[in-house]
């Protein structure tokens, strides 16, 4: 398939192939890799999706899916869940994925050996297990709005969480925590204790 690929100035491959089932008649995208074999596999997958009329899914932007999620799916949740999930979107997902395409999120990265989603979740394992699972659930729900066939990979489903909660990973004794809290304004003590004993971050606790 070399005739459908060309090198960009930075060394990465750029895919450009005519296809009648794709809007505009062209499959065009940067493979994001200088690995020729990987780029050829991505081209083959793009052609396969085009044949099924699904190539547009790859080009859908995460921000578009977020907009749909906030407008269509989030209102179906309970009020408390709405606040929690909106916070996850704002503080974790949008900063990480922003305006990237679904292809950017799910394609294999030859340098890291994983996808962008897997890499993102691995960087979250220091958070409490319950928090990471919520982040993963919201992320999956959002991506599914753009790709109904999306599934978390084996790596993403089998993450080893390093923080299973306060009692599994203490950073202060009860006496030390009480001493620290005693120096905090009384208006904020309840919130601090909630964060300490549950592992919630500030955005989740408030």
Instruction: Tell me the mean pLDDT per 10 residues along the chain, length 206.
Output: 78 87 80 84 83 77 93 91 92 92 77 78 82 91 87 65 52 74 82 73 65
pTM exceeds 0.75 for this model: no
3-state secondary structure of 27: strand
Query: Which residues, in sequence order, are bridge partners of residue 28?
Result: 16
H or E element at residue 46: helix 36-51
Contact 172/195 with Cβ under 8 angstroms?
Answer: no
């Amino acid at each position: 398939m070399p005739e459908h690929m060309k090198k960009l100035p930075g060394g990465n491959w750029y895919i450009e192939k005519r296809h009648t089932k794709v809007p505009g008649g062209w499959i065009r995208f940067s493979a994001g890799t200088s690995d020729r074999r990987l780029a050829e596999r991505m081209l083959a997958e793009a052609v396969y999706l085009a044949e099924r009329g699904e190539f547009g899914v790859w080009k859908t932007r995460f921000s578009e899916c977020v907009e749909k999620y906030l407008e269509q799916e989030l209102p179906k949740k309970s009020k408390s869940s709405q606040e929690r999930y909106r916070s996850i979107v704002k503080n974790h997902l949008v900063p990480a994925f922003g305006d990237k395409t679904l292809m950017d999120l799910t394609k294999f990265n030859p340098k890291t050996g994983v996808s962008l989603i897997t890499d993102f979740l691995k960087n979250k394992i220091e958070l409490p297990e319950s928090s990471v699972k919520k982040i993963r659930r919201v992320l999956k729900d959002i991506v599914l709005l753009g790709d109904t066939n999306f599934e978390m990979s084996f790596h993403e489903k089998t993450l080893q969480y390093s923080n299973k909660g306060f009692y599994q990973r203490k950073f202060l004794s009860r006496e030390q925590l009480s001493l620290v809290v005693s120096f905090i304004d009384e208006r904020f003590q309840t919130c601090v204790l909630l964060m300490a004993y549950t592992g919630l971050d500030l955005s989740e606790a408030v």
